Structure 1
């Protein structure tokens, strides 16, 4: 069910995509991937997968989640924050415990887009993390179907987002991780990254995720989809967090023949992924009418599912697995969780060493190991570096004018002031981030744990909702152009928020039925 957080406060899903104008590092690459009918026995573990579709039933077998689910370990009591493109109430999520976080996206200014996953990426990942069976108990099941999913929307239609919005979202999760005492946020999934190469020890984005890690949240980050020869994306470059690469199951349930997906970034000697998880041709929940669904219809698998490939999907698998691990062993620290996953990872004899990290996720073995009092000793980030350097080549633009320099979407960004407040957990005060209202619906914080006592959860019940696809009030995905949006206070270079037009779409190497974009921000 979907929950709201008491009077004056609404939690809304996140939508994040990116533009080539925002990122555009490498040319697009086409990958031929045929359309697929619904696989036989989508919820049946006996179904053998092929090159075109990998079901969650198979993924759960590969990583050892299926046995845990049968024994009653489903992620219950564990909160997972999804900083991504939002979620919609499709079948497969209507029985999932979902909390809506703030809509920090540029979409928040258009009523018909507010809190909606118009892109489709977040809904796909939500299904992998915490998708639930239909009411008759059949069908799709994510890795941790009992987990509580908090969705924080940062990206707009087509996934556009500035790195400052992502930083604000991570700060929000840290500030509100314990608002619901029965389901505290213990995991943060961030399938986002830029091509910024600033040293992690000064980068603001890596500093934000480190602060989440130090606050007791296991941060799982997509390694990036640049392929062989590409460094990891920022903030996967930070050595504290769990950086995830994508494995290709190679058409069998035997992990011995698994390889590293060709698109998965290999990293450099300075930083490679920590481990890998299935991430190629993953069948998860379809978001009818979303950008991906309309533009890449051949990715659809039957009526309710769609295929997606990327380290985004692999990171979502690991996030769900961490929720299962923390349900069984809630005393584990983030450092101990990382140590157990790395120490237990299954070696892949047919995988290239650079892309495999410690090996493939193996929950069964992880639960047999004892933490060794792990404490990572890397040099911490200060966060005093450049916001512009954190963006790399990724910029959003209005009327051809890009947001650049030490500015976030509403004003100047002072790294020293922000870092001090982020360190103290006070970057968010009174519903504002660093003194700015980043949400478009007048959302404001009111109350803390008492708002989550279980007495004030009224909100929508997704069990009564259907999502057969929206028209988005006449928006055209092919043009991605609409006007009439207004956001008081939004300006850079004196521009007003009208005549909005996005062009040059690029997205993180993620493949949807044949289309693969290299070098973009979503992993």
Structure 2
């Protein structure tokens, strides 16, 4: 069924994210990204689009493995536990996942594995268990010995001494097959390796050159293609020959052996110069569709190896722009029978451009769009355009047909329709690797990579559709969708909202002649109470393309919100037996009757049609609404007329759920559950001259027990009066805000601002005498009101630019919404702050200080955007009671673009006090600022997800975090020398999966900005090394990284006096919350030729262990000083900082 943006009545309901404060300025909509999941599906995102390696593979039983080292590993599903062998209690273990396999590597084997001397597969506990090399049978080895006299004999003796068996020798290759039972593993490890005298690390014993797993090889394809039945379709003669499949993705490596002959046409819809696949995602996806497996001897053959590929590049490494996607869709639809779109974005109620395009192009050209459902792993979160009616939305399952943790689930946002439509294998799928990408290769070859995600599941379905399209060249995309969904194999443990019709089964699809249309029936939501519900009946049409009539037995099956079987009578089908003539059709009717006694919530099921080996399923869903009552909201303006276009905030106090209600006509009705509600609205009343009066109306406690009406009447408003703090000052901003918090902690907040308070009023509609002054009941949460006011001098140009004074004021009223509010700022309530602006540019720039008042209860009240010259000093008076101030300094270039930005930590001021704050005070570099700031640098870990955020242009203030326009930059993360993440811009945070075991990490960030016209801090480099392992709990853990901050006294142009001695303070800023550690070594160097040569300077401790001191003697004449420092602490963590042209000399 199609969706409407409107709910019952005429209110539009938008789900409200609670407790999240908005930033200072709106940002551009995030680009869509390729739908590959991270290796930990619980991680919010992968390190970069397409580089995730997938979730842990689901084991079917608990299995034990004895490693070559003698350590015991138990593999239970995706959980791994390790018991060190005898005498190995101090050994640590590295655990990680790759291509769906769990690896456990002891520390004393890491170097050997890294060097290639020891086969990595010896520590692939999933692979060992799958191969039957469990603890009972031991691990078989192949040992290569050196071409030295006596090597073979020494190996034989060592094996015998360890109690292991030499099962085969291959003298011509200097190899021997060795097998050790469980008890002999540790002694054999001791015989095959030894400690290096100089380092104490394990190395191969004398005479041994390499050790491999004696692995089992199989003459067969990768598991995912047989899993969906593709070989059966091939045997029937269907390989996709003559069918064109378009892949809209990140491009293609058309030199890859698997797909070179399959690419028929390419088109680039991005700003990139060509269709080269730098990400690797598109190549991987394309080969799942139609790769012939040539580079693997056929092992990694795609689903439809005979199909032709039309490649449309619509994504680059930073995402997929909607306009590019739309252009690609338009190009592909008339050319291809099937379009694969392994991409997506957040869906919302109503049609967006991509959904509309899918529906329209499908209808116009008969094309089938197979689209990835998304990788959030959340309910009601299938992305767009998979959410389109015509799209075949694809979720992901593992090799055992279990839904992956990352696969997004339905129902669809807005109307509860069934999405996804179908599932396919998407966990650790090995497919072609683009040679131009940085994807990690697998199996010792650069030809293939393993990725996980609904991106990988989708091309399995697109390939299956190509096989079916070859079989039925006259079928439309809708008919292909009917057949694929009707023949899918369901997982009985999953609802239709999680899996749609089930896992694609192309063998059944090509082997049976009956389809059902529509294959999915979403019957909507029935309103409470349900005793008077009317049964809903829909028609199912069965088509028979076979040469013989077929008689089908029809039954229904369904489950409820608790996962148990739905009551009899909820879904029925008539007739129970239906004959479909050869080449014809027949109809059945399915009815849902929600009057039956059952729980409320989501119900899903299927109509199952069977005849012998033929099984056709049509999935069903209906929602029985919880007890709810119509709440009519009427909004009246100051003239008593309906306030059209009103935006109402609604908070369910008892459940902590918030919504926004948009009433275009000033009135509307919404169904709500019994309970207590908060409502507030900003009512704008138009005057004859086109200006507006503003009223904030609040109903903080509205009980609902049945059908009810609430009138939000602006006529009940009273004035808000704030007197000028200074003679001649003009109001630059007037604001009133409200923060309403439920007992659960969930909150909604709103703020209304105007130029002055002259036309701004407030109203509290709480029932009862003196309601506006009394406290809320103790169990009703809290209510906080905020008044925000700014005053400055108005210039002749009608702006506040370069005002010589600025007053930023705020008042907080707790426990009620303010009415009849009157205030005047008193000198003793204010704090004077002098802002000193550092700027190395010779030309003038404008700047602004964004100011935000934050009550402790949440919410924020922003100030005006007053511009001033980006030099000199600026004095601002702030209210010093009730609020913390968050300040953001912005400098703008001639085009008005923000070119330099500094975020400050929350500022709590003292009444009557004075303070100086410097902005842009060089040298600049990454700083681990106060984490109470709205934006701060951090390197943290939660479980097995690691995140970093390293803004590179913080100034000397320890609470500042900084950004700048730059020429280039990137941040990289390595684990034990292996690159995990490469983020092209270092200005934003990234997060991704890491192994659970403790290991060493190196994080590097670099940025160059000399081409932007800056003369100081033109290049910033920073690197940190640290160790990290799995953390427990839901909180982020700060990792042991330290910022090295240079804090010399500089002029406001960030220069020092040339030819003079100067003190260089060095401040070591440990990340807040990270474990402390003493400094083992700190070195500082200076360069006066932009880093061509460096001179070490003496740096000494002060009384504060975080503060050090060096002295520099700068050369005469104009120039620049560059600084470099290296830090090592007693726990082995290090930091390195280099700032080119840290400051000027003159």
| TM tier, smaller | 0.5 to 0.7
Say if 2:478 is the partner of 1:335: yes
CA contact (8 A) 2:418 2:520 kept: no
Shift of 1:66: 0.8
Among 341, 356, 359, the residue aligned to 1:210? 359
Aligned residue number for residue 321 of structure 2: 162
Q: What does 1:372-521 correspond to in 2, within 5 Å? A: 372=516, 478=971, 504=988
Q: For residues 301 and 503 of structure 1, do their structure 2 counterparts lie closer, same or farther at Cα, with a shift above 3 Å needed?
A: farther
Say if 2:339 is the partner of 1:188: yes
CA contact (8 A) 1:78 1:323 kept: yes
Q: For residues 375 and 69 of structure 1, do their structure 2 counterparts lie closer, same or farther at Cα, with a shift above 3 Å needed?
A: closer
CA contact (8 A) 2:337 2:367 kept: yes
Q: CA RMSD in A?
A: 3.9
CA contact (8 A) 2:486 2:519 kept: no
Say if 2:271 is the partner of 1:130: no
Shift of 1:71: 3.6
CA–CA separation in structure 2 for the residues paired with 1:350 and 1:375: 20
Among 169, 172, 197, the residue aligned to 2:331? 172
CA–CA separation in structure 2 for the residues paired with 1:353 and 1:374: 15
Among 302, 316, 321, the residue aligned to 2:444? 302
CA contact (8 A) 1:18 1:160 kept: no
Aligned residue number for residue 282 of structure 1: 429
Which structure is higher in RCO with an 8 Å CA cutoff and minimum separation 6?
1
CA–CA separation in structure 2 for the residues paired with 1:85 and 1:512: 25
Aligned residue number for residue 118 of structure 1: 278
Q: How many correspondences in the alignment?
A: 344
Q: Which has the higher strand share?
A: 2
Aligned residue number for residue 949 of structure 2: none
Q: For residues 321 and 106 of structure 1, do their structure 2 counterparts lie closer, same or farther at Cα, with a shift above 3 Å needed?
A: same
Say if 2:518 is the partner of 1:358: no
Ranges of 4+ aligned residues in structure 1 off by more than 4 Å = 15-19, 29-33, 36-39, 47-50, 372-378, 475-480, 500-503, 511-514
CA contact (8 A) 1:279 1:314 kept: yes
CA contact (8 A) 1:220 1:241 kept: yes
* Residue deviations 1:468-498 (CA, integer Å, cap 9, x gap): xxxxxxx987579xxxxxxxxxxxxxxxxxx
CA–CA separation in structure 2 for the residues paired with 1:321 and 1:49: 30
Shift of 1:128: 0.5
Q: What does 1:312-351 correspond to in 2, within 5 Å? A: 312-351=455-494
CA–CA separation in structure 2 for the residues paired with 1:290 and 1:133: 19
Q: For residues 512 and 164 of structure 1, do their structure 2 counterparts lie closer, same or farther at Cα, with a shift above 3 Å needed?
A: farther
CA contact (8 A) 1:38 1:301 kept: no
Shift of 1:373: 6.4
Aligned residue number for residue 61 of structure 1: 226
* Residue deviations 1:169-206 (CA, integer Å, cap 9, x gap): 111223x51xxxxxxx1000011111141412xx2111
CA–CA separation in structure 1 for the residues paired with 2:131 and 2:482: 31
Shift of 1:62: 1.1
CA–CA separation in structure 1 for the residues paired with 2:300 and 2:442: 15
CA contact (8 A) 1:35 1:301 kept: no
Aligned residue number for residue 369 of structure 1: 513
Aligned residue number for residue 140 of structure 1: 300
The alignment's TM-score, normalised by the length of structure 2, stands at 0.28
Q: Determine which structure has more spread, i.e. the larger CA radius of gyration.
A: 2
SS of the residue 1:102 aligns to: strand
Q: What does 1:67-78 correspond to in 2, within 5 Å? A: 67-78=232-243
SS of the residue 1:34 aligns to: strand
Among 245, 253, 257, the residue aligned to 1:80? 245
Aligned residue number for residue 106 of structure 1: 271
Aligned residue number for residue 412 of structure 1: none
CA contact (8 A) 2:222 2:299 kept: no
SS of the residue 2:348 aligns to: coil
CA–CA separation in structure 2 for the residues paired with 1:342 and 1:152: 26
CA–CA separation in structure 1 for the residues paired with 2:994 and 2:311: 22
Q: For residues 124 and 506 of structure 1, do their structure 2 counterparts lie closer, same or farther at Cα, with a shift above 3 Å needed?
A: farther
CA contact (8 A) 2:221 2:298 kept: no
Among 233, 241, 246, the residue aligned to 2:383? 233
Aligned residue number for residue 416 of structure 1: none
Moved more, 135-144 or 267-276: 135-144
Aligned residue number for residue 64 of structure 2: none
Q: For residues 163 and 75 of structure 1, do their structure 2 counterparts lie closer, same or farther at Cα, with a shift above 3 Å needed?
A: same
* Residue deviations 1:136-181 (CA, integer Å, cap 9, x gap): 954421000110000001112x24221111111111223x51xxxx
CA contact (8 A) 1:85 1:159 kept: no
* Residue deviations 1:265-284 (CA, integer Å, cap 9, x gap): 11223342111110111111
Aligned residue number for residue 245 of structure 1: 395
CA–CA separation in structure 1 for the residues paired with 2:509 and 2:248: 26
* Residue deviations 1:99-118 (CA, integer Å, cap 9, x gap): 3332111222xxxxx22000
Q: For residues 355 and 89 of structure 1, do their structure 2 counterparts lie closer, same or farther at Cα, with a shift above 3 Å needed?
A: same
CA contact (8 A) 1:106 1:155 kept: no
Shift of 1:49: 8.8
Q: Which runs of 5+ in 2 are unaligned?
A: 1-31, 37-41, 48-54, 57-95, 100-118, 122-128, 133-219, 523-896, 900-967, 974-983, 997-1146
Shift of 1:96: 3.3
Q: For residues 149 and 237 of structure 1, do their structure 2 counterparts lie closer, same or farther at Cα, with a shift above 3 Å needed?
A: same
Shift of 1:35: 3.7
Aligned residue number for residue 388 of structure 1: none
SS of the residue 1:272 aligns to: coil
CA–CA separation in structure 1 for the residues paired with 2:308 and 2:507: 22
CA contact (8 A) 1:260 1:352 kept: no
Q: Which has the higher helix share?
A: 1
Aligned residue number for residue 417 of structure 1: none
CA–CA separation in structure 2 for the residues paired with 1:151 and 1:285: 15
Aligned residue number for residue 174 of structure 2: none
SS of the residue 1:66 aligns to: helix
The alignment's TM-score, normalised by the length of structure 1, stands at 0.58
CA contact (8 A) 2:228 2:506 kept: yes
CA–CA separation in structure 2 for the residues paired with 1:335 and 1:361: 16
Shift of 1:77: 0.4
Say if 2:414 is the partner of 1:266: no
CA–CA separation in structure 1 for the residues paired with 2:502 and 2:378: 17
CA contact (8 A) 1:240 1:376 kept: no
CA–CA separation in structure 1 for the residues paired with 2:269 and 2:389: 27
Q: For residues 281 and 375 of structure 1, do their structure 2 counterparts lie closer, same or farther at Cα, with a shift above 3 Å needed?
A: closer
CA–CA separation in structure 2 for the residues paired with 1:77 and 1:505: 46
SS of the residue 1:170 aligns to: helix
Say if 2:370 is the partner of 1:220: yes
